[in-house]
Amino acid sequence: MEEIIARFKEVPTTCISDAMQGLNNLDSTIKPLKEAYTVAGRALTVKIPVGDNSAVLKAIREAKIGDVLVVDAKGDLYRAIAGDFVVGMAKTMGIEGIVVDGVIRDITGIKDLNFPVFCKGTTVAASGKAGVGEINVPISCGGVTVRPGDIIIGDADGVVVVPKEIEQDVLKKAQEKMKTDQAREESILVNRETVINYLDSILSK
């Protein structure tokens, strides 16, 4: 794993979000299938029309080990972009995770794979395979622009996108936020008096 991806993986998405002032958080209804899932890697973007997952298959074929598939599925809640077989292929190919503003199916089988999928939920209907769709183009996923190679980080709280041009700066700010959050907890969450002093200092501003 690239050094910068490993460093981002140590930071909660909340701190990464704060470092970018909340500008690059995916729609909060995109959630991990299991709360314990985390994902970190560079985006391989996938753009599909509603109801056709051909480009997801193409992306799995072209992916490098460690890529995160980010699928622009237009927020469709009815046609699955993948089931347990397609997700199983992604896992077997060394893909790090799948993020989609849409839904999957075969949820039990996908959970058994222990492979991080972040999505809006599940459905029963498959997608067609008419061959429409693109990979490695700029997309919109969950309200955020994602370009190929942007860094994607997901955890129990959701998913954030770090544009590649600002990744070093965002990492530094996010690490600082994590440290100040920890220091604040250690100094304030001590007793009634420390909490009262803290609240008074905030409320008197």
Ligand X SMILES: O=C([O-])CC(=O)C(=O)O
Binding site for ligand X (CB under 6 A): 53, 80, 82-86, 106, 126-127
Query: Cβ of residue 97: shortest distance to ligand X, in angstroms?
Result: 16
**Residue positions forming the annotated binding site for substrate:** 83-86, 105
> CA of 33: how far to CAs of 37, 122, 167, 185, in Å?
8, 10, 27, 29
Strands (DSSP E) found in 39-175: 39-47, 68-72, 97-100, 103-104, 117-119, 121-122, 134-135, 139-141, 144-146, 151-155, 158-162
Query: Cβ of residue 79: shortest distance to ligand X, in angstroms?
Result: 9
Output the six-digit token pair for 174.
């996010």
Query: Cβ of residue 85: shortest distance to ligand X, in angstroms?
Result: 3
**Residue positions forming the annotated binding site:** 83-86, 105-106
Answer whether 26's CB lies under 8 Å from 141's CB.
Answer: yes
Query: Cβ of residue 128: shortest distance to ligand X, in angstroms?
Result: 9
Considering beta carbons, is residue 46 or 161 the nearer one to ligand X?
Answer: 46
Considering beta carbons, is residue 31 or 91 the nearer one to ligand X?
Answer: 91
Considering beta carbons, is residue 103 or 141 the nearer one to ligand X?
Answer: 103
Answer whether 132's CB lies under 8 Å from 119's CB.
Answer: no
Residue with the shortest CB distance to ligand X:
83
Kindly state the DSSP code that residue 125 receives in the 8-state scheme.
Answer: B
Considering beta carbons, is residue 75 or 83 the nearer one to ligand X?
Answer: 83
